[in-house]
Amino acid sequence: MALVTLKGNHIETVGALPEEGMKAPGFSLTATDLSMKELKDFPDKVKVLNIFPSLDTGVCAASVRRFNSDVSKLENTVVLCISADLPFAHSRFCEVEGLKNVVSLSSFRSPEFGRDYGVTLITGPLEGLLTRAVVILDSSDLVVYSELVPEITQEPDYDAALTVAREFE
């Protein structure tokens, strides 16, 4: 279990993020076309897992926009935007925003993702959603960076994450 806050109030997660140096847990998440995407569907790429509660919040939307913009400059990196939002919401958001450089994935059919990555909120008003975190996997799916954002209403440390992504590019 890890602790984060929401507007200063403590909230617990189901576990802890995968540690740097370990092989990332596999996953199967729902894409915007309702197909299932697995970790193995992104071979030989650096993967930035942008994990967040919901696209319907300003901070979550900002993180998707920022990673869309910044990662578009990297050739061998893919951003996987992961939340419990329905695939339709992911699709609508990216279409309205004109975002083409991220892959939107929903955990709504895959509660094991939140458990395996330690990001499901188990207390507080957002219970059942995913907390805000960034996990970066190298091209062989080893965890090379992880950030559990301590306050859900804060944005992740983009500069630190992008520095690592560039390093493994």
Cα–Cα dist 40/60, whole Å: 25
Instruction: Assign 59 a pLDDT band (cuts: 50, 70, 90).
Output: confident
pLDDT of residue 97: 79
pLDDT at 156 over 90: yes
Burial 110-149 (b: 16+ CB within 10 A, else e): beebbebbbbbbeebebeebbbbbbbbbbbebebbbbbbb
Cα–Cα dist 73/71, whole Å: 5
pLDDT at 76 over 90: yes
What is the 8-class DSSP label of residue 5? E
pLDDT at 144 over 90: yes
pLDDT of residue 85: 94
Question: Coil, helix or strand for 70?
Answer: helix
Mean pLDDT of 113-128: 97
Q: Where are the domains of the chain?
A: 3-168
Residues tagged active-site: 60
pLDDT of residue 44: 93
| Model pTM score | 0.94
pLDDT of residue 68: 79
Fold of 3-168: Glutaredoxin (3.40.30)
